[in-house]
């Protein structure tokens, strides 16, 4: 006699199997998956917690960037939108300037839009460069980001972009940077 196959009837949502042994298979799968994840020595975790604090990032955010890129964050790239500098006469808020100034062992670069004076960004940033215009192609945006960071002598992949707009979010992919974080999340500590 051959194997009997059944077709799911009306109302069947193809959910988990209810065959005997389901909970055991789930337990074994969960354990195997956990065994694949690395367990870091406590000294390494302490160093990474310290590094996250130097960058002004919560550990969870820092750890997720580090895990996704495999590299440390060597720089933060701030858009003037993230700094709330939208017009020529806007000034950087004291709290934001203090948070940027408190960042240690990290390159701090601002990308400014037309009308914003680059001198108003240094300090607290270490450098300022023109932001890619929204009408540039993907490759032109990439070239402008690479050019701005090449002058700093560091690879794009180590920079985390702090921005606000969708175009600025796309800079992360175009420049092959470490990632993107909104200015609101970075400055309000909800990163």
Lowest-pLDDT range of 15-19, 83-87, 135-139: 15-19
pLDDT at 96 over 80: yes
Q: How many structural domains does the chain have?
A: 1
Percent of the chain with pLDDT over 70: 86
21 inside domain: no
Note the pLDDT tens digit of each residue in 172-184: 888 888 889 998 8
Mean residue pLDDT of the chain comes to: 83
For residue 78, the cross-strand partners are 110, 162
Q: How far apart are CA 13 and CA 31, in angstroms?
A: 27
24 inside domain: no
Q: How many CA atoms lie within 13 A of 154 on its CB side?
A: 21
Asked whether the beta carbons of 61 and 52 are under 8 A apart, the reply is yes
180 inside domain: yes
Q: How far apart are CA 155 and CA 113, in angstroms?
A: 22
170 inside domain: yes
Supply the CATH number for residue 108's domain.
3.40.50.1000
Asked whether the beta carbons of 187 and 96 are under 8 A apart, the reply is yes
Note the pLDDT tens digit of each residue in 107-153: 999 999 888 888 888 889 889 999 998 888 889 999 988 888 888 88
The token pair that represents 45 in the structure block = 């975790």
Domain with 155 in it:
42-187
């Amino acid at each position: 006699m051959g194997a009997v196959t059944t077709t799911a009837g009306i109302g069947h949502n193809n959910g988990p199997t209810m065959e005997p042994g389901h909970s055991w298979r789930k337990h074994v799968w969960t354990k195997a998956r956990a065994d694949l994840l690395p367990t870091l020595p406590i000294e390494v975790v302490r160093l990474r917690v310290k590094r996250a604090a130097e960058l002004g990032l919560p550990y969870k955010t820092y750890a997720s960037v580090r895990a996704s890129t495999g590299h440390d964050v060597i720089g933060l790239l701030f858009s003037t939108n993230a700094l709330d500098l939208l017009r020529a006469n806007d000034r950087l808020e004291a709290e934001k300037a203090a948070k940027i100034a408190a960042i240690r062992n990290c390159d701090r670069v601002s990308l400014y839009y037309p009308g914003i004076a680059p001198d108003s960004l240094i300090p607290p940033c270490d450098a300022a460069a023109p932001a890619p215009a929204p009408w540039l192609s993907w490759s032109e945006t990439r070239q402008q980001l690479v050019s701005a960071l090449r002058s700093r002598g560091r690879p794009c992949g180590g920079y985390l972009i702090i921005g606000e707009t969708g175009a600025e979010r796309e800079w992360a992919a175009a420049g092959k940077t470490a990632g993107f974080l909104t200015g609101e999340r970075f400055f309000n500590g909800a990163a």
